[in-house]
Amino acid sequence: MSDASPSVVNIGLIGYQFMGKAHSNAWLQVPHFFDLPAQPILHTICGRTEAKTRQVAARWGWRHSETDYRALLENPEIHLIDITAPNHAHAELALAAAAAGKAVACEKPLARNLGEARAMAAAVKKARTPNFVWFNYRRVPALAWARRLVEEGRLGQVFHVRALYLQDWAKDPKVPLSWRFSGPEAGSGALGDLAAHSVDLVRFLTGDEFSEVCGLTHTFVKTRAPGQMVEGLTARVQAEGKARVRKVTVDDAVLFLARLRSGAIGTFEATRFATGHHNGNSVEINGEKGALRFYFEDFSYLDFFDDTLPRGEKGWRRISVTAGQDPYSGRYWPPGHVIGYEHTFINTAADIVRHLAGETRQFHANFDDGLRCQEVLEAVALSQRRREWVRISEV
């Protein structure tokens, strides 16, 4: 943050929908809970529709609003460009931010495809500008603690990883054709929207890398009519009465097998058609000395199996992660007073500010992490087309 005051980080946010609200809340709330080396300022929010952008700015406390993102890049007061726009805009915005010498944070997936991700990672590296990807599940307290257990060797050699990300909001064929169902705009469907989280979590938790994958994707509803959609996992929608139906050009569901470099094997499933699951994000890791598992619906709990205990004492333990096990404990409420989804973004915002202020040397996840994830997604898509195993080195 070479151009920034050591006491202030001025933020320019692009986008005001679901993630725009999550990020606005994070920037607004983070100084209330964390003692930070710099004060984050909600400087300017940018959106396509002027009236809506002004309304969101007033609600969340943004000092200024714009409809042209170039105004943020040209403003010397703004230090960080935070991108929550749809996927098709990520590359253009990030490349422009890097060229302007701004720090840049981007929602996941990093890009629509591997080519864009490579260009984005190369741009921030060339510009030597700080860069961040909002893989917010890395900062779930239970998962932050799970990573520490793995690092301490409590699981020993990892044999299996299995991850599910299950939603059901798209199974109604009346859900209208939004950008999330468009290949040119989203890049992919459940693969990039949901499986990207699972891929990143496995990398984060194990410290391992993917070696090869074998994938299957499927689209259940082939066409949809345009209409208006309320963002959210339990969206209530109204399609336009006689609007012409159009082809869905992304996957509704993806399953894939994986081999990791360490020799561990993995199974992954992500879908928007899992009836009964609104946001069923879960991960399990089995090792020689122990195992762990996490369910998003039990946000504050981690299940742990210690296989080093005497035979009569072995069993899954459900541990409440609210009492100091993770890096973010003590920032919110006393032990037993749970936090939630929005706090993962607040935790991320705190770590971004610390990094920009020079308090930490490295930040995870950065654009390189986003690129590694994109390589796996690309290999899964290629495997589906070829109907064979694909090595990550091939993409």
- Each domain of the chain, given as residue ranges in start order, spans 8-137, 144-298+300-339+374-385
Query: Which amino acid, one-letter code, is at 16?
Result: Y
Whether the per-residue pLDDT at 5 is higher than 60: the answer is no
Radius of gyration (C-alpha) of the chain in whole angstroms: 21
DSSP 274-290: -TT-SSEEEEEEEESSE
Residues near 393 by beta carbon (within 8 Å), at least 6 away in sequence: none
Alpha-carbon distance 130 to 156, whole Å? 34
- 144-298+300-339+374-385 CATH, one of 3.40.120.10, 3.90.45.10, 3.30.360.10, 3.40.50.740: 3.30.360.10
Q: What is the pLDDT of residues 274-322, one digit of tens each?
A: 999 999 999 999 999 999 999 999 999 999 999 999 999 999 999 999 9
Average of pLDDT values for 1-20? 82
CB neighbourhood size of 139 (10 A): 23
Q: What is the pLDDT of residues 84-130, one digit of tens each?
A: 999 999 999 999 999 999 999 999 999 999 999 999 999 999 999 99
Q: What are the beta bridge partners of residue 164? A: 269, 282
Superfamily of domain 8-137: NAD(P)-binding Rossmann-like Domain (3.40.50.720)
Residue whose structure tokens are 């499933």: 269
Tokens representing residue 179 in the block? 């950008």
Strands 64-66 and 39-46: parallel
Alpha-carbon distance 225 to 244, whole Å? 6
Measured over the CA atoms of residue 84, residue 85, residue 86 and residue 88, the dihedral's sign is: negative
pLDDT at res. 97: 98
Strands 390-391 and 210-218: antiparallel
Give residue 186's region: left, alpha or beta (phi > 0; psi -120 to 50): alpha
Q: What is the pTM of this model?
A: 0.94
